[in-house]
Amino acid sequence: MKLIQKFGLILFLFGLGTFIIIPFLGSYSLNKELIIANTREIHQETLVEVLAPMYGQTYSSNFDFLGTFNEYFEGYNDELKAQSQWDDVIWDDYSFAFALASLESPVKDKPWLFLFLSIGLAVIGGLLYNLPKHQDEPDGIKNNGLFHSSQKNRGIVGMLTGSFLITFYIILYWFPAYLVNLVAMVSPMSELISGHPASQWFLYGLIYTLAIVVMGIRMFRKYRGNKYQQIRTASVMFFQTAFAFLIPEILVLLNQPYFDFKNIWPLDYDFFYDYQISAFLSSGGVGMFMLIWGILLIVVGVPTFTYFFGKRWYCSWVCGCGGLAETLGDPFRQLSDKSLKAWKYERYIIHGVLVLVVVMTTATIVNYFSGFSFLGNVTNQLHSFYGFAIGSTFAGVVGTGFYPFMGNRVWCRFGCPLAAYLGIVQRFKSRFRITTNGGQCISCGNCSTHCEMGIDVRAYAQKGQNIVRSSCVGCGICAAVCPRGVLKLENGSEENRINDFPILIGNDSVKLNV
Amino acid sequence: MSSNRHVVIIGNGIAGVTCARNLRKLDDKVRITLVSGESKYFFSRTALMYVYMGQMKFEHIQPYENWFWEKNRLELKEEWVKEIDYSSKQLVFQSGGNLVYDELVISVGSKPNKFGWPGQDLKGVQGLYSKQDLELMEETTQTGVSRAVITGGGLIGIEMAEMLMYKKIAVTFLVRESSFWGKILPKEESELVGRHMLEHHIDLRLESEVDEIIGDESGTVKAVRTKSGEEIACQFVGLTTGVSPNIDFLKGSELALNRGVKVNLNFQTNIPNVYSIGDCAEFDQAPGADRRVIEQIWYTGRMHGETLAYTLAGRPTAYKPGPLFNSAKFLDIEYQTYGNVPASWDSSQIDSFYWEHSGGKVAFRMLMDKSGNLVGINNFGFRLRHEFFDKALTDNWSGIKVISKLDQANFDTEFFAPYYIEIQKEFKKQFGGDFTISKPSFIQKLFGARV
């Protein structure tokens, strides 16, 4: 490792360390005014009274503050629940808003400084580490040492990385009140872009985008000399930065609904939720355009693009989940399970999620148009179940947190309902395939090992068969790592797309009656 | 044919395993046993280097999952064969057991050549062929090796150099010829590979040979003396001067041997019901005009296996390979070849067209006979389609026809530089010919894919 890379690594670790410490800084003090400012009108009176014992107190940590808050808040609710006074129970979660408002910390006072010291240093460190990579080596992809690496082969470093990611996701989704320092830190940046203070989702979006950019630059270095990988990586970096991060915030600045133009139902599972539809319908022409655009992508965009290019047009060129997997996740791609058994589970689980989301969405739409006489608020229960189990746990905690354990495409492979939909089109009606170059395969296994989707590419290549699989996201790494020039991503005629040669090209001994 | 006959295959490399798999597809009843002392499960020999370099684990270079063998009723016996009793049709194992066969296939592969150098059996001196060789190499190079000497300029040699470089071991490469792999590659290609080796800081010594391998008092290698008298201090020596059939254990029986196990084009030995395929078989005649009597490449092993399976299934089939093809990777540069391109040729019989990219890492050669027909091609640094050249060679296409359709032969992934256009231009310059040069596609223009 070069000196500058070591320096980069130190900066990165320092930034990461600061990021981890920040949530524990500062103190919290709540008063009546803050409660009134951050509470829905119907709850104001109650909360002002329930939380009165907290006034004038200074809590020195988020644990202390939130612990006390929950004691009073849940105490109030529990009493009502015990008396079955369900209508008076406060179901809203005010912990995040109160914690953010009560916070007094150096981070809140000097947000830009702390932003620089945490995320900023991590980004600079990451760049210093990645940019000089392979600089004095000839062009060529090196996967040397992957399985001798603790980080990349489920060693102790990998376990720590995975645990950190899992913990971060759990706190982000279910205990965001503990992260208010970090949210306050990025708030001025949010104000700059959208004119609104940050939520935990702005914090998440910012980190997510920066991870894709910094690790995308690592991709440029690692796959230098491979034009397909370069352009594809630039594409995911662009779509994440512009479409997923900046444009939705700018829409908010312009008083339009927050909307990611490249997110497609059923990955975007709340697209047809009643509050979304209401938002579209109440936002005039722009809202109507969003609604029609979203529906067109589902019914026209997906089948058309997938027919011509395979599902890669979305999964490894446009999608945000794919973007993170292809950049931050690239060092872990070899950890995906290639067994036939894993493939079997994969098909049950991913199509199960697709069925679930279709049923949920259909019920939601029917319910919406029947004026909620069809199922009442049962659809809300469905939504919260799906949001918890699939949207947060599967896609987030498992999807990213399990990178160092099960590879970088756990969600895309086992869970994503949009990938399932794209996959069905790709398998049955598409011009895309990975062509095998006649009899040139030497069964070395590089393609299968480095396939993030767990496809046993070699099983096809060594038989001279083209690879046509619903799960293939067309990342092109199998073709890139093949040492004998055997694999090529291609769009071509549907005729002979799926082929079977009992005898490989090059052996004229056996004449087959074809 | 008896339905419960037992086919025993000694050796579970690509030849033996392909034979077993194809036989099972053709005959559901026959009992098939694969015998190997090297490894219970089949692995890709060509991929051993990647295990050393941590690019894959050993399990990754096993092309079939472990349940595959039982599911297809291919019995695996992890034994070394001591001798074969052809009269009672049984194998005797080193462990003492035995196994009776009805039909026997000998596919025991090769062993690294050793040419009787003094010191060739010292500790730290080895070839690389088997799983055991890999394990030995991992063990001996674990610590205390700062320089290695590799002798023999071939494919295993350059793989070994790449492996050692991963462990940051400096490599001195002794090559007898005046250029790398000069017995196989024409001069320009050979120089291209040589330049690339230097770029990787391999100390390449051409026209240089081992005279003696010198050991220390513990019997471990400490230096190599070359024929020119230079002594190179080293702690590891790789012997990669080719391989030869692994037939020592077969010697002294009624089985006819020469350099390998002697077979006809149906892979039959002189003993009924005993066959031999792969690296260890030696044909009584060359199986094709440009073929050798001992074929030692992966692809031929596989074809031998495919073909013999038909004979064993009761459909006697002679081996008839199509146009030759091969491939390799020299560090970062991929190489493919279709048809016959020898290291040198008689220019009164053969015309050669050669194009090399200015960067010196991408090249294309095509040989044509005097009537202008395709004889063979080499390509370096880009990929060409097997199916295309198999057809071109089988149907006896002219060189001009090949070049004019070269865009269809391209096998590089999208957005890669369209080298075929430069090759077409250069061919037109050198040989003329009435064909249109391909235009870059819209996508290629859009993303600036230029040569």
Q: Per-residue DSSP letters for A204-258?
A: HHHHHHHHHHHHHHHHHHHTTT-HHHHHHHHHHHHIIIIIIIIHHHHHHHTT---
Distance, C-alpha B193 to centroid of its chain: 17
- Can you name the CATH fold of B125-241? FAD/NAD(P)-binding domain (3.50.50)
**Which of the listed CATH numbers 3.40.50.720, 3.50.50.60, 1.10.3720.10, 3.40.640.10 matches domain B6-111+244-312?**
3.50.50.60
A342 and B CB contact within 8 Å: no
Q: Which residues of B touch A503 (CB under 8 A)?
A: 306
Other Cβ atoms less than 10 A from the Cβ of A210: the count is 18
Q: Which residues of B touch A340 (CB under 8 A)?
A: 65
Whether the CB-CB separation of B262 and B269 falls below 8 Å is answered with yes
Q: Which residues of A touch B387 (CB under 8 A)?
A: 437-438, 505
Query: Which H or E run contains B409?
Result: helix B406-409
A228 and B CB contact within 8 Å: yes
- Tokens of residue A218, six digits: 């690592």
A443 and B CB contact within 8 Å: yes
- Cα A229 to Cα A226: distance, rounded to the nearest angstrom: 6
Q: Which residues of B touch A445 (CB under 8 A)?
A: 44, 47, 50, 56, 60-63
Integer-rounded Cα Rg, in Å, for chain A is 26
pLDDT of residue A504: 86
- Cα A446 to Cα A444: distance, rounded to the nearest angstrom: 6
Interface test with B, best of A1, A137, A341, A437 (most B CBs within 10 A): A437
Q: Residues with Cβ < 8 Å from B439, sequence gap 6 or more?
A: B421
The residue-averaged pLDDT of B13-28 equals 97
| pLDDT tens, N- to C-terminus, chain A (514 residues) | 789 999 999 999 999 999 999 999 999 999 999 999 999 999 999 999 999 999 999 999 999 999 999 999 999 999 999 999 888 899 999 999 999 999 999 999 999 999 999 999 999 999 999 999 998 899 999 999 999 999 999 999 999 999 999 999 999 999 999 999 999 999 999 999 999 999 999 999 999 999 999 999 999 999 998 999 999 999 999 999 999 999 999 999 999 999 999 999 999 999 999 899 999 999 999 999 999 999 999 999 999 999 999 999 999 999 999 999 999 999 999 999 999 999 999 999 999 999 999 999 999 999 888 887 777 788 889 999 999 999 999 999 999 999 999 999 999 999 999 999 999 999 999 999 999 999 999 999 999 999 999 999 999 999 999 999 999 999 999 999 999 999 999 999 998 899 887 788 889 988 765 4
Interface test with A, best of B386, B416, B451 (most A CBs within 10 A): B386
User: Mind listing the pLDDT tens digit for each residue in A317-366?
Assistant: 999 999 999 999 999 999 999 999 999 999 999 999 999 999 999 999 99
Q: Is the peptide bond before A266 cis (omega within 30 degrees of 0)?
A: yes
Whether the CB-CB separation of B201 and B177 falls below 8 Å is answered with no
Which residues between 492 and 511 in chain A have a beta carbon less than 8 angstroms from any beta carbon of chain B?
A: 502-510
pLDDT of residue A368: 86
Interface test with B, best of A444, A493, A505 (most B CBs within 10 A): A444
CB pairs under 8 A between A and B: 156
- Cα B77 to Cα B71: distance, rounded to the nearest angstrom: 16
- Tokens of residue B383, six digits: 């990929």
Q: Per-residue DSSP letters for A489-511?
A: EEE--STTSS---SS-TTB-SS-
Nearest of A330, A126, A101 to residue A223 by alpha carbon: A330
- Decide if A138 and B56 are in contact by the 8 Å CB cutoff: no
- Decide if A231 and B323 are in contact by the 8 Å CB cutoff: no
- Decide if A459 and B384 are in contact by the 8 Å CB cutoff: no
Distance, C-alpha A469 to centroid of its chain: 23
Phi/psi for B232 (5° steps) reads: -110, 115
Q: Per-residue DSSP letters for B32-101?
A: EEEE-SS-SS---GGGHHHHHTTSS-GGGG-SS-THHHHHTTEEEE---EEEEETTTTEEEETTS-EEE-
Whether the CB-CB separation of A444 and B61 falls below 8 Å is answered with yes
User: Mind listing the pLDDT tens digit for each residue in A387-441?
Assistant: 999 999 999 999 999 999 999 999 999 999 999 999 999 999 999 999 999 999 9
pLDDT of residue A421: 98
In B158-228, the DSSP E strands lie at 170-175, 203-206, 210-215, 221-226
Q: Residues with Cβ < 8 Å from B356, sequence gap 6 or more?
A: B188, B192, B362, B363, B364
Coil, helix or strand at residue B130: coil
pLDDT of residue B3: 62
Angle among Cα A438, A441, A445 to the nearest 5 degrees reads 145
Q: Which residue of chain B has the CA closest to A478?
A: B413
Query: Which H or E run contains A27?
Result: strand A27-28
Coil, helix or strand at residue B410: strand
- Decide if B306 and A339 are in contact by the 8 Å CB cutoff: no
The 10 Å CB-count burial string (b at 16+, else e) for B326-360 is bbbbbbbbbbbbbbbbeeebeeeebbbbbbbbeee
Whether the CB-CB separation of A146 and A334 falls below 8 Å is answered with yes
Phi and psi based region of residue B252 (left: phi greater than 0; alpha: psi -120 to 50; beta: remaining) = left
State the first-to-last Cα distance of chain A, in angstroms, to the nearest integer.
57
CATH class of segment(s) B325-446? alpha beta
pLDDT greater at residue A513 or residue B251: B251
pLDDT of residue B1: 54
- Cα A442 to Cα A458: distance, rounded to the nearest angstrom: 9
User: Mind listing the pLDDT tens digit for each residue in B99-152?
Assistant: 999 999 999 999 999 999 999 999 999 999 999 999 999 999 999 999 999 998
Domain range summary for chain B, segments of one domain joined by +:
6-111+244-312, 125-241, 325-446
Phi and psi based region of residue B143 (left: phi greater than 0; alpha: psi -120 to 50; beta: remaining) = beta
- Decide if A476 and B413 are in contact by the 8 Å CB cutoff: yes
Nearest of A392, A11, A387 to residue A173 by alpha carbon: A392
- Tokens of residue B81, six digits: 């064969």
Whether the CB-CB separation of B20 and B74 falls below 8 Å is answered with yes
Whether the CB-CB separation of A213 and B401 falls below 8 Å is answered with no
The residue-averaged pLDDT of B303-323 equals 96
- Tokens of residue B15, six digits: 């030849």
Largest CA distance in chain A: 92
User: Mind listing the pLDDT tens digit for each residue in B338-380?
Assistant: 999 999 999 999 999 999 999 999 999 999 999 999 999 999 9
Phi/psi for A451 (5° steps) reads: -80, 120
Alpha-carbon distances, residue B381 vs A140, B121, B419 (angstroms): 11, 38, 10
The residue-averaged pLDDT of B234-239 equals 97
The residue-averaged pLDDT of B281-297 equals 95
Whether the CB-CB separation of B19 and B283 falls below 8 Å is answered with no
- Decide if A144 and B55 are in contact by the 8 Å CB cutoff: yes
Q: Which residue of chain A has the CA closest to B288?
A: A508
Q: Per-residue DSSP letters for B320-384?
A: -B-S-EEEEEETTEEEEEEE---S---TTTEEEEEEE-TTSS-EEEEEEETTSBEEEEEEESS-B
Do B125-241 and B6-111+244-312 have the same topology in CATH?
A: yes
> Nearest 10 degrees: CA dihedral of A423, A425, A427, A428?
160
**Residues in a beta bridge with B237:** B125, B149
Interface test with B, best of A308, A509, A511 (most B CBs within 10 A): A509
- Cα B362 to Cα B206: distance, rounded to the nearest angstrom: 23
Q: Residues with Cβ < 8 Å from A266, sequence gap 6 or more?
A: A354, A357, A358, A361, A417, A418, A421
- Cα A77 to Cα B104: distance, rounded to the nearest angstrom: 81
Whether the CB-CB separation of B174 and B151 falls below 8 Å is answered with yes
